Amino acid sequence: MVELIPIICTYDVEPSVLSSIVETAYSKSEDTSEALLVLSDTSRPAIQRYTVDDFTRPPVDQSFKSPFIGWSLERIAKFLKDNADDTAVGCYYFLVADERTSADNSLLFVDTLFNESEDEGDNEDKAPDEPLTVRLAPEFVNSYTVAIAIGSMGTNELVDETDEDGVYRGGASDVDEGEGFEESDAEEDGSDQDTP
C-alpha cells in the first residue's frame, strides 16, 4: 500500500496551478495509484484522520490557503516526522510547491531518507543530514514519487537526469515521458526495478 505523498505549499501558489499539476500527474501515471495530498492543515489530529483514499482530487478548492507559507525544508521535514509518522501521510518524502512552481509548474521533491540508506550516488559533497532534492515536471510527480516511496527507484536517478534548469522532465533513458510505474510489478515479484 502506498502512503499519501504530501504537497506542501510554501508560497501562495494559485489553486488552479495546483489543480493542473495534480491532474497532469494522475493522467500521466495511469498504472500508479493516486497518492498526492495537498496538505491544508498543521494539526496532528487532522493528519492522523487521513486515509489512503483521501488523495487530492482536482480541482483544488479555490479558497485553499496554505498554512505552510514561508516554511523551510528542515521545518517541513521535522513537522512531518513529528506528526505524520505511522499515518497514511508519508513523512520521509514530500513535494514542495514554491515560488518557482507558480512560474513553471514544477514541484520540488524532497527525500529525507537519502542519507539514512546506502550510499546512492555521486553526492559526496552533500551535508550528512541534508535531504536530497530534485524538481519534477508535473507528469512525473505522482508515478515517480510513488516509485521512490516503495523503493523501486532512487531519487539520485532523477537528479542525474535533470535538465540544465534543474527540472527532471524525463531524462534520456525514458522512452515514453510520463509512463506510469505499475506498483503491482514490484509487489508481485519482489524485484527492484530501475525504471518506472
Residues 137-158: tens digit of each pLDDT: 999 999 999 999 999 999 999 9
Task: Say yes or no to pLDDT of 27 above 70.
Answer: yes
Percent of the chain clearing pLDDT 90 (strictly above): 77
When pLDDT is averaged across residues 52-81 and rounded to a whole number, the result is: 98
Nearest 5°: the CA angle 4, 119, 153 is 40
Q: How many other C-beta atoms are found inside a 10 Å radius of the C-beta of residue 53?
A: 8
Q: HSE on the CB side for 45, CA within 13 Å?
A: 0
Instruction: Please name the residues in contact with 62: beta carbons below 8 A apart, sequence gap of 6 or more.
Output: 15, 16
Which three cell numbers mark 193? 526495478
How much is the average pLDDT of 125-131? 64
On whether the CB atoms of residues 101 and 136 are closer than 8 A, the answer is no
Asked if residues 64 and 41 have their Cβ atoms less than 8 Å apart, the reply is no
Judge if the upstream peptide bond of residue 138 is cis by omega within 30 degrees of 0.
no
CB neighbours of residue 120 within 10 Å: 15
Q: Where are the alpha helices (DSSP H) in the chain?
A: 15-27, 44-49, 73-83, 99-104, 141-149, 155-159, 183-189
- Single pTM value for the model: 0.82
| Position with higher pLDDT, 195 vs 135 | 135
**Other CB atoms within 10 A of residue 51 CB:** 10
Among the ranges given (50-64, 103-117, 158-172), the one the predictor scored with the smallest mean pLDDT: 103-117
Quick one: pLDDT band at residue 134, thresholds 50, 70, 90? very high
What average pLDDT does this structure show over 161-169? 95
Nearest to 15 by CA among 69, 59, 47: 59
Q: Is the Cβ–Cβ distance between 126 and 115 less than 8 Å?
A: yes
Q: What does the pLDDT read at residue 115?
A: 63
